[in-house]
Chain A
Amino acid sequence: MGFKLDYLFSILPSLMNAALVNIRLAAIIMLLSVVLGTAFTIVRSLKITAVNMIIAVIISFVRGTPLLIQIFIVYYVLPAIGLDLSPEVAGVSAIVFNSMVFVSESMRGGLATIETGQIEAATALGLPPRAIWLKVVLPQLFRRIVPVLINEATIVVKGTALLSVITVVDVLRTAQQIASANYRPFETMIGSALVFLVINLVISLSGRMTEARFATARI
């Protein structure tokens, strides 16, 4: 049996429709992980020894275990302690937790590149810590980590494909349903690969354009 290109084209609309689920979830995840990642970074900057030790263990755990296992933990373990989450909410929470740690780690790197004179000047002017964070540190930090955030966004989009494993009806699960009805799994999977390829290339390209804009704004 040969490769059926017309069949591939015929299933693309339903796959693109399912992609809206991945895009929506990825957008929610990115938004939450940037907000929570920032909060996480500020908490770490307070340098409370006990808190930072716990955070170090959390970071090591998140970086040392597969995302799929983290998703299973949220999906299977939380209901056992009385928190019954829908698959979507469980999946989003797991990826947010994972992504938040990576955002905070890249912020750590970004902070090290901010000039110390900025903080000295702000402190000398008597700015309260809140203002130093909001007006001095964070605006520069976000500009610096734009490339990392774009990269993280593509990683998050790829991560949403794992949610099919916990029954979220996304591109992959839709593809599996289509494939089992039509007995053409190879073309179907090529189709879903194409859908993800397009989404992530669009993110990377628009990211590169934003980066160019921010680069000029930095001068």
Chain B
Amino acid sequence: MHFDPTVLADYWPLLLQGAWLTIQVSVAAMAIGYAAGIVVALIALMPGWPLRLVTASYVETLRNIPFIILLFVVYYGLPFAGIRLPATLVGTVALALFASAYYAEIVRAAILALPRGQFESARAIGMSPASAMWHVVAPQILRALVPPSTNMTLTMMKESAVLSSITVPELTYQSLVVQGNTFAPFEVFAAVASIYWLIASVIAEASRRLERRVGTAQAESVSRNPIAERYLSLVARRAS
């Protein structure tokens, strides 16, 4: 067989429409999921074990079942509860639900990682509450928040491919449509994988810039000796 990208000529608009929906659904699910995640994290940090039990069950349940199963639970569960929504909306809700569990854990960990007394110390040296929050507490929380959050957003964007199984016309769904019309799996999936790859690269690049802005430490290369590096490092040493 040979690679012939021209078979896709008529189908580019379809694939790009799909990609656009993938982006829209991911952004919407991120916004809803993050808001829900913050609420869950704040409840988890409140005193009393009953609340913690509820939030821990929420997080563990959502994290331990496959997203495709969760999607079908929501897909059949909403009509069961008398709520009828279009598939795209159902998919977005399921994706937000899935992501909220992970975001909640990220937010909780970031708040717990904050050293005790930062806010009080800032107040003690005469900063106003707003200023202490803005200049002392928020930057530290953001620093712990950004890398895992962008990572999760990337995972969620990739997970949105599963929405194709409830007929949401996103990128993966369109790829199956085009594959059915052209019988050119190589070209179709090469194109679709590249589009996903591109979206992922944009997210990765955005996260790199964001990390630089909030000042997340990037201690990638630890100084080591050449003997140990032969075994313990996977990157070639740059000639200095």
Contacts and interface: CB of A to CB of B under 8 A. Distances in A.
Determine if chain A interacts with chain B.
yes
Interface of A: 1, 3, 41, 44-45, 47, 49, 52, 60-61, 63-70, 72-73, 76-77, 80-81, 108, 111-112, 114, 116-120, 123, 129, 132-133, 137, 154, 157-159, 161-162, 164-165, 171-172, 175, 179, 185-186, 189-190, 192-193, 196-197, 200-201, 204
A174 B154 CA distance: 30
Interface string B167-202: 000001001100100000110010011001100110
Interface in B195-240: 196-197, 200-201, 204, 222, 224-225, 227-228, 230-236
Nearest to B196: A65
Interface of B: 1, 60-61, 64-70, 72-73, 76-77, 80, 154, 158-162, 164-165, 172, 175-176, 179, 185-186, 189, 192-193, 196-197, 200-201, 204, 222, 224-225, 227-228, 230-236
B197 A68 contact: no
Given A64-B197, A112-B222, A123 B227 contact: yes
Contacts of B165: 165
B162 to A, nearest CB: 6
A64 to B, nearest CB: 3
Contacts of A190: 73
Nearest to B219: A112
Contact of B65 (A112, A120, A132, A158): A158
Contacts of A49: 236
Contacts of A157: 66
Nearest to B186: A77
A72 B196 contact: no
Nearest to B79: A186
A192 B69 contact: yes
B158 A189 contact: no
Nearest to A179: B76
B234 A44 contact: yes
A72 B175 contact: yes
15 contacts: A47-B234, A49-B236, A60-B197, A61-B193, A64-B197, A66-B172, A70-B193, A72-B189, A73-B193, A80-B186, A116-B232, A117-B228, A154-B64, A158-B64, A172-B69
B60 to A, nearest CB: 7
A186 B69 CA distance: 11
B230 to A, nearest CB: 7
